[in-house]
């Protein structure tokens, strides 16, 4: 199975400041068609997961522009340009290029 490794696992942030989460895969997430299936989810406390970004950099409808995804191959990043209090929660990356789909361990974002 593809192992997804996130860092950091805990991220204290100051409101208004940027934040960045790294996600690395144990093998390339590019498929034979040149597509890369890397997704970012947000899970607020006590809530279901919410998809933020799909296929590396495509923001879902209703997701604030301060969230952006980038990367290629085995190295990916989720950036929050200016953190808000509402962004508290756990963020997961997930690959779906290979079966089974696998998630990173999660990064807990908290406000300082």
Which residues bind to another protein, rule: CB under 8 A?
A: 37, 39, 41, 43, 48-51, 54-55, 58, 60, 92, 94, 96-97, 99-106
Secondary structure E strands in the chain: 4-7, 10-13, 19-25, 38-43, 50-54, 58-59, 67-72, 75-80, 89-95, 102-103, 107-111
- The CA R_g of the chain, rounded to the nearest whole Å, is 13
Q: Least distance (Å) from another protein to the CB of residue 22?
A: 16
Give whichever of 49 and 66 is closer to another protein, judged by the CB atom: 49
Task: Quote the least distance from Cβ 79 to another protein, whole Å.
Answer: 19
**Beta carbon of residue 33, minimum distance to another protein (angstroms, whole number):** 12
Which is nearer to another protein, 16 or 100 (by Cβ)?
A: 100
Q: Are 24 and 75 in contact (CB under 8 A)?
A: yes
């Amino acid at each position: 199975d593809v192992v997804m490794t996130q860092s950091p696992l805990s991220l204290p942030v100051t409101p208004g400041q940027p934040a960045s989460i790294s996600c690395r895969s144990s093998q390339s997430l590019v498929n034979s068609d040149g597509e890369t299936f890397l997704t970012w989810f947000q899970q607020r406390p006590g809530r279901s997961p919410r998809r933020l970004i799909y296929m590396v950099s495509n923001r879902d409808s209703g997701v604030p522009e301060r969230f952006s995804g980038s990367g290629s191959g085995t190295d990916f990043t989720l950036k929050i340009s200016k953190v808000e209090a509402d962004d508290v929660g756990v963020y997961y990356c997930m690959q779906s290029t290979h079966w089974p789909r696998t998630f990173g361990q999660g990064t807990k974002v908290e406000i300082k």
